[in-house]
């Protein structure tokens, strides 16, 4: 539930139209979603290998710290708090707000709704791991059922457009095609991202060597099946042009089957899905900030655990408040670009930790090299296509260097 909950948020409901505006044939659109799924699956194998090799380490921050240098681990935690996790949460909270308001018709700003949702889930997770994980599991089951129902409606019940799958490409094979496919892969990888956050909970698992590996593989395969099914439904019902023109494709598919009631049902499904993603983010990522502080590289208060609830309350609140700030300050597409560019830089780098830990996963080193190259291709392409959006994330990354030096000097003293 934690792996799948970290992946499935608003991306599968919003991002398909972004993909269809970058590439314009069913083959390329479906290929982009398949490519993203394969990258996520390769990553799941690598992270499972890392968990098996070093079950004593608490996830991605610790892998980078031990394989390379404490500075590398710190920079990851720094941008996780200021860009990656909170930016992703902000984008999903904004999506939740839009659908919640369309569902209720309340005359209030969407920013206020987004902030309220983030504040509520922050409070729930401050009550303890049990309350946070129970909320996560309940919301995850609901959104799996919702996505499966939308896919079934599009593939079985709705009228198809008889969209042809030829020609395969929308332009000659060229550098332009490569960068366009890379631009399409950016929102896809954002939609698939989040499976790696389950590794943050490794130190709290009874047997991470076994359980984290199983969770990664089963969770990513489950998401892959759901995402490919619902995209086939979108293409069958809307076609390429209809998908590119429709910013809420799930609503359009269900509306064709159920009429006006379909819009309400879809809005409910998406609000539940986005809440499930936010719940997972609140549950997992604060463990990274806690570990940084325990290493003496962050505010000491972040390393404190509540005696009553046994959770890092300050770390959870810090993350929630910063996500609220981002939700009030950016556009969905802008947030998406600067989150992906920094996130996949470190995901690829974490995959390469297998070399340092002398991993022997199937296909290594070739699959490891392929995974790292795919991640860094998306980073380079995002910077090339959207330099204005990505420069903010890179500037925040750079600001982590003096911050690390400050805390290291303070800790040494």
CATH number at residue 327: 1.20.1740.10
Q: Quick one: CA torsion of 180, 27, 331, 328, rounded to 10 degrees?
A: -140
How far is residue 351's CA from residue 342's CA, in Å, rounded to a whole number? Answer: 15
Domain that holds residue 406: 2-412
Find the helix or strand (DSSP H, E) in which 109 lies.
none
CA quadruple 165, 171, 174, 179: dihedral sign: negative
CB burial of residue 107 (10 Å; 0-12, 13-18, 19+): exposed
For residue 320, what pLDDT is reported?
A: 93
For residue 105, what pLDDT is reported?
A: 83
Model confidence, pTM = 0.82
CA distance readout (Å), 81 to 58, 152, 287, 321, 400: 16, 37, 11, 11, 11
For residue 336, what pLDDT is reported?
A: 67
The residue written with tokens 């539940």 in the block is 272
Per-residue pLDDT reduced to its tens digit, 177-196:
988 898 888 889 878 888 88
DSSP letters of 48-83? HHHHHH-TTS-SHHHHHHHHT-HHHHHHHHHHIIII
Into how many domains does the chain fold?
A: 1
CB burial of residue 234 (10 Å; 0-12, 13-18, 19+): buried
Query: Consecutive 10-residue runs of the chain (413 residues): their mean pLDDT?
Result: 82 87 93 92 85 76 91 94 87 83 84 91 82 74 85 86 85 89 86 82 76 87 93 92 87 84 81 82 85 91 85 91 86 69 89 83 82 88 81 88 93 76
The residue written with tokens 């599991």 in the block is 137
For residue 11, what pLDDT is reported?
A: 79
CB burial of residue 56 (10 Å; 0-12, 13-18, 19+): exposed
CB atoms within 10 A of CB 225: 14
| Contact indicator for 256, 236 with CB cutoff of 8 Å | no
């Amino acid at each position: 539930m934690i792996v799948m909950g970290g992946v499935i948020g608003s991306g599968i409901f919003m991002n398909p139209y972004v993909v269809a505006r970058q590439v314009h044939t069913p083959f390329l659109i479906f290929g982009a979603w398949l490519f993203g799924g394969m990258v996520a699956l390769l990553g799941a194998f690598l992270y499972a290998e890392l968990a098996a090799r070093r079950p004593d380490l608490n996830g991605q921050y610790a892998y980078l710290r031990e394989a390379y240098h404490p500075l590398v681990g710190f920079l990851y935690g720094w941008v996780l708090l200021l860009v990656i996790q909170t930016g992703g949460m902000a984008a999903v909270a904004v999506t939740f707000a839009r659908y919640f308001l369309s569902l209720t018709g309340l005359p209030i700003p969407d920013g206020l709704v987004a902030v309220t949702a983030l504040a509520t889930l922050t409070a729930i997770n401050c009550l303890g791991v049990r309350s946070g994980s129970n909320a996560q599991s309940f919301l995850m089951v609901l959104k799996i059922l919702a996505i499966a129902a939308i896919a079934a409606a599009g593939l079985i019940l709705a009228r198809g457009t008889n969209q042809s799958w030829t020609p395969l490409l929308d332009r000659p094979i060229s550098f332009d095609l490569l960068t366009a496919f890379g631009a399409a892969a950016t929102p896809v990888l954002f939609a698939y991202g989040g499976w790696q956050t389950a590794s943050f909970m490794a130190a709290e698992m009874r047997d991470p060597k076994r359980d984290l590996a199983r969770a990664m593989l089963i969770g990513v395969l489950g998401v892959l099946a759901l995402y490919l099914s619902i995209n086939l439904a979108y293409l069958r019902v809307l076609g390429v042009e209809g998908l590119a023109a429709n910013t809420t494709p799930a609503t359009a598919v269900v509306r064709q089957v159920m009429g006006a009631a379909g819009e309400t049902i879809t809005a409910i499904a998406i609000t539940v899905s986005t809440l499930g993603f936010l719940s997972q983010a609140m549950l997992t990522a604060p463990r990274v900030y806690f570990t940084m502080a325990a290493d003496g590289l962050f505010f000491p208060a972040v390393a404190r655990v509540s005696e009553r609830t046994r959770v890092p309350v300050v770390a959870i609140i810090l993350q929630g408040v910063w996500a609220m700030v981002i939700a009030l300050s950016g556009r969905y597409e802008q947030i998406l670009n600067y989150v992906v560019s920094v996130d996949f830089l470190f995901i690829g780098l974490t995959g390469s930790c297998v070399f340092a830990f002398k991993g022997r996963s199937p296909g290594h080193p070739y699959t490891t090299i392929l995974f790292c190259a795919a991640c860094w291709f998306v980073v380079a392409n995002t910077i090339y296509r959207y330099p204005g959006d990505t420069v903010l994330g890179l500037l925040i990354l750079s600001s982590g260097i003096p911050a690390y030096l400050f805390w290291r000097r303070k800790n040494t003293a």
